[in-house]
Amino acid sequence: MSKYLISIVGATAIGKTALSIQLANHFHTEIISCDSRQFFKEMTIGTAVPSKEELNAATHHFVQHISIFDTYNVGQFEKDAIAKLDELFQQHDIVIMVGGSGLYVDAVLKGLDEFPKVDPQIRENLNKQLELNGIDSLQNQLLELDPEYYKRVALGNPHRLIRALEICVGSGKPYSSFLKDKASARNFTAIKIGLTASRPVIYDRINQRVAIMLKEGLLEEAKALYPHKSLNALKTVGYRELFEYFDGNWTLDFAISEIKKNTRRFAKRQGTWFRKDETTRWFEYQDRIETIVKEIENRLA
């Protein structure tokens, strides 16, 4: 195929945005974001949306393109992203995709699994269960109904747990039984690039990022969003912990320490997810751009 999608993955705070811009400029092309936390207009600081300078340095798509009040899911993103790629490939032979949301990356590269329709009331009941009994109750229920998927899912992500459980409950079958092995046909070739670092380095970069977010006004951003804390979009690291502080359940210092801890856990899950794909070529986060470009150009050749 003559069209290529360069997919850049890796843990949060590893430097994916900077690399994607460098590659977009080198190949004179545009960037598709598949970071599901950066889709929302109202969430800027806590999701580490690229700065104005970064957005101006290369054309980005799917950054703050919807509202937290909109209904949007990975299925809709897959359709939107494939349509945008068809459009971009009319002008470019190469497009860059960047983001740390593994499910969204896979949706574009491989396509989504097909699940049966289930009663919407099941999801409502599970959301109430989360509210009343906490995330532990969802984790325990998934362990019972689908131990195979329990080993693979991001256990700290209530959206993923609820999605799996509504299929388990609604169909009477394990969620994992609907996961397909064969990827959907795509009209491009994927070149997968991963950025990595030692765990202490990743954790240090996470701590630095949280400190920068707080300095830039994360507390004020979360306060403005607090009245809408029940929305799915806001049940995410960086906001969820500060809502506990606003509720009077935690001190501010403890909430900040929980943001760092939960972000570290998220980074670990990202590593587990992306490492499963043996076709990804991994580079150290400090590797020279020339080294990565050479690898890509060898693949293009």
Query: Closest Cα partner for 115 from 144, 142, 75?
Result: 75
64 with 35: CB under 8 angstroms? no
Q: What contacts 24+ positions apart, CB below 8 Å, involve 240-246?
A: 242/218, 246/222
> How far apart are the C-alpha atoms of 52 and 281, rounded to whole Å?
30
Residue 91: the pLDDT is 97
Residue 293: the pLDDT is 98
Residue 237: the pLDDT is 96
Binding-site residues from annotation for ATP? 10-17
The CATH class given to the 120-178 domain equals: mainly alpha
Residue 190: the pLDDT is 97
Residue 160: the pLDDT is 87
HSE, CB side, 13 Å, CA atoms: give it for residue 29.
Answer: 23
DSSP string over 3-25: -EEEEEEESTTSSHHHHHHHHHH
Two structure tokens written together for 22: 């460098």
Collapsing DSSP to helix, strand or coil, 192 comes out as strand
Instruction: Find the Cα–Cα–Cα–Cα dihedral 196, 197, 203, 204, rounded to 10°.
Output: -120
- Domain ranges in the chain? 4-112+181-300, 120-178
Report DSSP state, residue 280: P
Residue 58: the pLDDT is 98
Binding-site residues from annotation? 10-17
DSSP string over 175-191: GGGG--SSPPP-SSEEE
120-178 shares the fold of 4-112+181-300: no
Strand-by-strand arrangement of the 189-196 sheet: 60-61, 31-33, 94-98, 4-10, 189-196, 281-284
Residue 179: the pLDDT is 83
Q: Which amino acid is at 178?
A: F
Sequence-separated (6 or more) residues with CB below 8 Å from residue 126: 138, 162, 165, 166, 169
**Residues of the chain predicted below pLDDT 70:** 1, 180-182
| Residue 32 β-bridge partners | 61, 97
Tens-digit pLDDT profile for residues 65-95: 999 999 899 999 999 999 999 999 999 999 9
Residue 182: the pLDDT is 66
- The secondary element (H helix, E strand) that includes residue 198 is none
Give the fold, CATH level 3, of 4-112+181-300: Rossmann fold (3.40.50)
- Angle subtended by helix axes 289-300 and 16-26, to nearest 10: 60
Tens-digit pLDDT profile for residues 180-216: 666 788 999 999 999 999 999 999 999 999 999 999 9
pTM for the full model? 0.83
Collapsing DSSP to helix, strand or coil, 257 comes out as helix
Two structure tokens written together for 116: 């049966």
Residue 1: the pLDDT is 59
- N- to C-terminal Cα separation, the chain: 12
Binding-site residues from annotation for substrate? 12-17
- The secondary element (H helix, E strand) that includes residue 263 is helix 252-275
